[in-house]
Amino acid sequence: MISNSQCDRGISFVGCGSATPQKIITNDQLSQRVDTNDEWIQSRTGIGERRVISENESLIDLATHAALNAVKMANWDVKTIDLIILATSTPEDLFGSSPKIQSNLGASNAVAFDLTAACSGFLFALITASQYLASGSMKRAVVIGADQLSKWVDWDDRKTCVLFGDGAGAVAVEAVNDETGLIGYDLKSDGSKGDCLNLSQSNNFLDLIPGASYQKGEYFPIKMQGKEVYKFAVREVPIILGEILDKYQIKSDKIDWLLLHQANQRILDAVASRFSIPSEKVLSNLKFYGNTSAATIPLMLDEAVRDQRIKSGDLIACSGFGAGLSWGAALFYWHGPY
């Protein structure tokens, strides 16, 4: 377990932002392509529609927009940003898309890098950023979760294509000497179950010269064992959240908002019921975006902050989970201006 009690300074959440593509694909529209229907999708997942990046948009643009909104909310000069981490499994450039975002923002003093942990990516990136801030080596960080799974989904596989969408969200976090926003966290991986959900490379070797071959860079579409992933999430998320609540001696009725990775409404409901958290405190926008992978948590946070459900000082219990397999949880207070 990684604990921020090892660090010198606290972390404050002071801004958030998000951006989503223009194009909406409803369940009914999807049923024009695969044998599915709105009733099946809504009842099994809670998803009503998703958004898909079109030719005139890009993941980097969405991520830049989300980051800019977070920086504006925090009221920061972009030159004061020290660190930008882009959590994504779908970069535009496999060498990294975050430096482009850094330059789009004009954050010329920031170092930027990508981090991949699938749907847990935002949480993993947030905890990574918090290490730099809490150690005192950096003061201000922007953590972005952005994914374009639409380009890796098999749109003819009804078992997966109905679940995913594109989007971006971001938070602005800074080191503070007084009361911390980030109370505690834990991150986990289990690569032995990685086959339950993956986006793996093809093993396509082509002739290079006589006697030598090279591996062509290409990936298979997303493959998933839905039931296994479902069971993993409803088993592990309550355990990891429960462990953190116990560690910091926080009773679940003190949680203002349950902010889970938006994968499936039934997973959200199952986790909430394990902690007797009423549905009014369970944040969900699955209906409108589906599973946007690394983007779901900051996208949901931004929506609930801007419509003033989440208020400054609210306690948020957050958990991300997904491919890897990977999962994590964090407890934090929101300290933004709303």
x/- letters, 111..140, toward ligand COA (CB under 6 A): --------x---------------------
The distance of closest approach from Cβ of residue 197 to ligand COA in the complex, given in angstroms and rounded to an integer, is 6
Catalytic one among 16, 27, 69, 119?
A: 119
Determine whether 65 is an active site residue: no
Catalytic one among 65, 196, 261, 264?
A: 261
CA distance 39 to 51: 19
**Of 135, 149, 138, 147, which Cα lies nearest the Cα of 107?**
138
Binding residues for ligand COA, total number by CB under 6 A: 19
x/- letters, 309..328, toward ligand COA (CB under 6 A): -------------x------
Give, to the nearest 10 degrees, the angle between helix 38-45 and helix 265-274.
Answer: 20
When the beta carbons of 24 and 111 are compared against ligand COA, the nearer one is 24
CA distance 70 to 103: 16
Contact between 33 and ligand COA per CB under 6 A? no
Contact between 36 and ligand COA per CB under 6 A? yes
**SS3 of residue 146 by DSSP:** strand
Q: What is the DSSP string of 165-230?
A: -EEEEEEEEEEESSS-SEEEEEEEE-GGGGGGEE-PBP--EEEEETTEEEE---BPPPEE-HHHHH
Asked if 107 and 83 count as a contact pair (C-beta separation under 8 A), the reply is no
The distance of closest approach from Cβ of residue 291 to ligand COA in the complex, given in angstroms and rounded to an integer, is 6
Interacting residue with ligand COA among 2, 23, 38, 40 (CB under 6 A): 40
Mark the segment that binds ligand COA (CB under 6 A) among 38-46, 69-77, 121-129, 236-244: 38-46
**Ranges within 160-199 binding ligand COA (CB under 6 A):** 162-163
Q: What is the DSSP string of 240-279?
A: HHHHHHHHTT--GGG-SEEEE--S-HHHHHHHHHHTT--G
The distance of closest approach from Cβ of residue 295 to ligand COA in the complex, given in angstroms and rounded to an integer, is 12
Structure token pair of residue 270: 């199952």
When the beta carbons of 36 and 131 are compared against ligand COA, the nearer one is 36
**SS3 of residue 36 by DSSP:** coil
Asked if 263 and 163 count as a contact pair (C-beta separation under 8 A), the reply is yes
Cα dihedral 230, 232, 233, 239 sign: positive
Determine whether 7 is an active site residue: no
The distance of closest approach from Cβ of residue 8 to ligand COA in the complex, given in angstroms and rounded to an integer, is 34
Mark the segment that binds ligand COA (CB under 6 A) among 39-47, 65-73, 145-153, 325-333: 39-47
Asked if 119 and 323 count as a contact pair (C-beta separation under 8 A), the reply is yes
The distance of closest approach from Cβ of residue 30 to ligand COA in the complex, given in angstroms and rounded to an integer, is 8
**Ranges within 50-109 binding ligand COA (CB under 6 A):** none
Structure token pair of residue 134: 């809490």
Structure token pair of residue 123: 């949480």
Catalytic one among 285, 291, 318, 335?
A: 291
Mark the segment that binds ligand COA (CB under 6 A) among 67-75, 122-130, 141-149, 156-164: 156-164
The distance of closest approach from Cβ of residue 129 to ligand COA in the complex, given in angstroms and rounded to an integer, is 22
**Stated length of the chain:** 338
The footprint of ligand COA (CB under 6 A) covers 36, 40-41, 44-45, 119, 158-159, 162-163, 224, 226-227, 229-230, 263-264, 291, 322
Positions annotated as catalytic residues are 119, 261, 291
